[in-house]
Each structure stands twice: as structure tokens, then as C-alpha cells.
Amino acid sequence: MRVEWPTLALIAASYGLLMICLFWVPMASLGLAVAILIPVIALQSSLQHEVLHGDPFARRWLGEMLVFPAFNLFVPYLRFRDTHLAHHQDANLTDPYDDPETNYLDPVVWSRLTGWRQALLNANNTLSGRMILGPIIGQIAFMAADWRAIRAGDRAVLWGWLWHIPVTAALVGLVIASPMPFWAYLLACYGGLAVLKIRTFLEHQAHARASGRTAVIEDRGLLAFLFLNNNLHVVHHMHPRLPWYRLPALYRANRDRYLTRNGGYAYASYAEVARRHLWRAKEPVPHPLYRAPAERRN
């Protein structure tokens, strides 16, 4: 397609649902409005992910204009785009320094943390902790890294945040003008980010081979839809330009190939993920295979 119409239709639907949740549903039930808005915010982030990979238009900037306002308020689109594209350097997956989306730490850095910080990050390494604590822990780490980059003179990072300010101010103004209290919208933002943490919780694992680091969750339910089939993560990493709605058929037609490639790193569903990891960490926070280059050891 010259235009990926399913993606474009979902972008339009996300704006429609946002307006309904802001101006109509709160008049009947504020709790219902927040409950609906949480998956809408998660879905819009997934749509931003589609756009940064080239949907729904051949010219990416056209799609970016449609998803530039981040419904979640806290993650500038341009920073999401740049860090996520850097994450797609598969040779660097899970590297504590070179993968901007990893939760692993250099074991040396880990050993220097205070006990309470280690306990906090250990809790964050369970699914329940990642959903409850993960949004704030991730946001602090993300903003701290960007602040260091800005202080070091990285103009791309600075512009990513400067462009974020006016569009976010406009969205905040819309919320303030609506019947939904701003605190309720913030609650929905936190909930939307918590839902996204379910997807990112175990997308990647420490593995000696880069091809063995990316997971598959063979889920076909609501979460798979909200994540736009990004639960088939190894398929996405192998075909990052492929639209979300084509991933399931490709996976079904080549299931053995993908599971051979990632060494069988797969779960049947997000229910299985919850059963196994709701209260139990998948792996330790310090990267179990990491060996720092000489310049970092020194």
C-alpha cells in the first residue's frame, strides 16, 4: 500500500476515543473514563512506534505529524523515535550502555548501588513491580540520561524536548478545558505506561547470541492488539518496516524458523508471563554476561 490504511484508521480512532474520554464519558462516570483512556494511551504509543518505523505513509514525517502529541505526556515523540531506532541495532541488545531500552546494569555499577536502590530495582524486575514502579523508575532514568546528554551538548536531545513542550501544553490545555480533572488524566497516563511495561518486561534477554535475545509471546488477545502485535517481537526485529497487521500471518507461516532463530525464547500468552513472573524476577538486574570494554573498566 502507498498508505497503510489500517494504521491510519487506528490513529483517527485514537483521537476520537481521546475526545470521547475527555468530554463525554466523565459526565457519566469518571472511573469509566479513566479505565477507557488507559488502553487508548497505550495504543497511541504503539501507533507512534509504527510511525517511527515508516507507517502509514511513504514519507515518515507525514505520519509523525499525526502522532507527535504524546497522549502519555511524558515521553517526547522525537526522543522515543531516536532511542528506539538506536535500540534496533541488534548487536547491542541488552547492552547496559549501548541499548537505550535495556533494564540491565553493568555489574560494576550494580555493586556500587546502595542497598535500598538494589532492592527497588530488584522489585522492578518482577512483572508486578515493573507495572507499579516501572513507569516512574523508567521516567527518572530516561530524563536523567537525556539531561546528561543535553549538558554534554547534544542538540538533538535538546530539540526533542523543546518540540515536546508546546504540543504537550496544547494537550494539557485540552484536558483542563474538559470535564476530566487533570489528576485523573495523569492517573490514566500512569496506567497507560504501566500497560506498556507488560510488553517491554521480557522482550529481550541476556544471551550470548544476538539472535537469541528477542522474545515471542504468542498472544492474540487484547494486549496483543494494544501492542499492535509487537508481542511477536522477534518478527518485528527481523522485519521492522513490516506493518503491524502483517506480523501474525508471517509468524504463523514461519513459526519454526523464528523459534529456531531465538532459541525457543517464547511464551504462550501474557497470562503465562504473569503466572511465571508476576512476583518473581525473570533475570537479575546486573547483566549476567556483560564484560566491560577496557576503557570502561578503567
Peptide bond into 243 cis (omega under 30): no
The values of phi and psi at residue 61, to 5°, are -65, -25
Task: Work out the average pLDDT over 140-152.
Answer: 97
Please check whether residue 189 is in contact with residue 74, taking contact to mean a CB–CB distance below 8 angstroms.
yes
Phi, psi of 124 (to 5 degrees): -65, -15
User: What whole-number distance in Å separates Cα of residue 4 and Cα of residue 58?
Assistant: 9
**Which three three-digit cell numbers place residue 244?**
503491524
| pLDDT of amino acid 164 | 98
Q: How far apart are CA 71 and CA 2, in angstroms?
A: 27
> What mean pLDDT comes out for the span 274-286?
96
Report d(CA 262, CA 143) in Å as an integer: 32
Q: Is pLDDT of 297 > 80? A: no
Average pLDDT over residues 146-167: 98
Q: What is the residue-averaged pLDDT of the chain?
A: 96
Confidence of residue 292 (pLDDT cuts 50, 70, 90): confident
Do 251 and 232 touch, CB atoms closer than 8 A?
Answer: yes
How far, in Å, are 35, 96, 240, 272 from residue 257 at the CA level?
39, 29, 17, 22
What tens digit of pLDDT does each residue of 112-136 get?
999 999 999 999 999 999 999 999 9
Q: 66 by DSSP, 3-state: which?
A: helix
Average pLDDT score over residue span 207-219: 97
Dump the DSSP string for 232-257: SHHHHHHSTTS-GGGHHHHHHHTHHH
Containing H/E element for 216? Answer: strand 216-217
DSSP secondary structure letter of residue 105 = B
Looking at residue 294, what is its pLDDT? 58
Percent of the chain having pLDDT more than 90? 96
User: What is the pLDDT, as a whole number, of residue 1?
Assistant: 59
Distance between CA 152 and CA 150 in Å, rounded? 5
Q: Is the pLDDT of residue 138 over 60?
A: yes
Q: What is the pLDDT of residue 295?
A: 56
Cell numbers standing for residue 160: 526533542
pTM of the model: 0.95
- Phi, psi dihedral angles at 181 (to 5 degrees): -60, 145
Joined grid coordinates for residue 184: 485523573
Using CB atoms within 10 A of its CB, is residue 112 exposed (0-12), middle (13-18) or buried (19+)? exposed
